[in-house]
Amino acid sequence: MQELPKTNSSVGIDLGIKDMAILSTGEKIENLKFRKQLEDKLRREQRKLSKRFLNAKKENRKLSESKNYQKQRIKVAKIYEKIMNRRTDFLNKLSTYIIKNHDIICMEDLNTRGLFHNHKLAKSIADVSWASFVNKLEYKAKWYGKEIIKMDRLYPSSRICSVCGNRDGKKTLDIREWTCPVCHTHHDRDINASKNILAEGLRRRQAI
Ligand SMILES: [Zn+2]
């Protein structure tokens, strides 16, 4: 694979649910808009599937012989496949965009983030999306001669003012914006976090 031209630009990335990625450049990359619609549909059809499963059981029919169940099973699988295909396409484009425009990419190590271990569909899809996104960034960085710096979650990226370094109090998730009491900069929570991730990543890179 041929190296991409250097841009002399570094970027910090914060991962989210509503916005898939928030960049230190101030860009917010919204998660797929169609996603919710398709996921709602998936949920509905999955409910139908479990009803048909129960019906077949009640009537003592084998699942392999239950036409309604099999039809519904294929329907659910197709919706799921559609979600996965669109997601892959979206993540491919996004990772290429970031790798093309930046030489050093700083982000959190997902292994230390404590992913949502629950069965809520939207969140489990977000988990998989993040992991797949990081994976794509990593192999593309290798292909194209770029660099990924990962750091653990212990670093309190949302509490520190990215302008003056003041360590403010803990911010609950509902606080989306805040003003630093020291330098009076008004922050978007996620963009501030991604700026801190960038600064911390570059600091660690220099320390090596
Ligand atoms: Zn400040």
Q: What is the DSSP string of 54-122?
A: HHHHHTT--GGG-HHHHHHHHHHHHHHHHHHHHHHHHHHHHHHHHHHH-SEEEEE-GGGT----S--HH
Q: Is residue 2 part of a domain?
A: no
Q: Is residue 49 part of a domain?
A: yes
Q: Is residue 106 part of a domain?
A: yes
Q: Is residue 4 part of a domain?
A: no
Q: What is the pLDDT of residue 126?
A: 67
Q: How confident is the model at residue 133 (pLDDT cuts 50, 70, 90)?
A: very high
Q: Is residue 147 part of a domain?
A: yes
Q: Is residue 3 part of a domain?
A: no
Q: What angle do CA 94, 157, 12 make, to 5 degrees?
A: 30
User: Which 3 state secondary structure label does DSSP give 34?
Assistant: helix
Q: Is residue 142 part of a domain?
A: yes
174 is catalytic: no
- Number of folded domains that form the chain: 1
Q: How confident is the model at residue 35 (pLDDT cuts 50, 70, 90)?
A: confident
pLDDT at 19 over 50: yes
Range of the domain at 154: 10-207
pLDDT at 119 over 70: no
- The Cα 59–Cα 164 span in angstroms is 69
127 is catalytic: no
Please give the distance, rounded to the nearest whole angstrom, from the Cα atom of residue 186 to the centre of ligand 1.
9
pLDDT digits (tens, 9 = 90+) for 147-178: 999 988 667 788 899 999 999 888 887 889 99
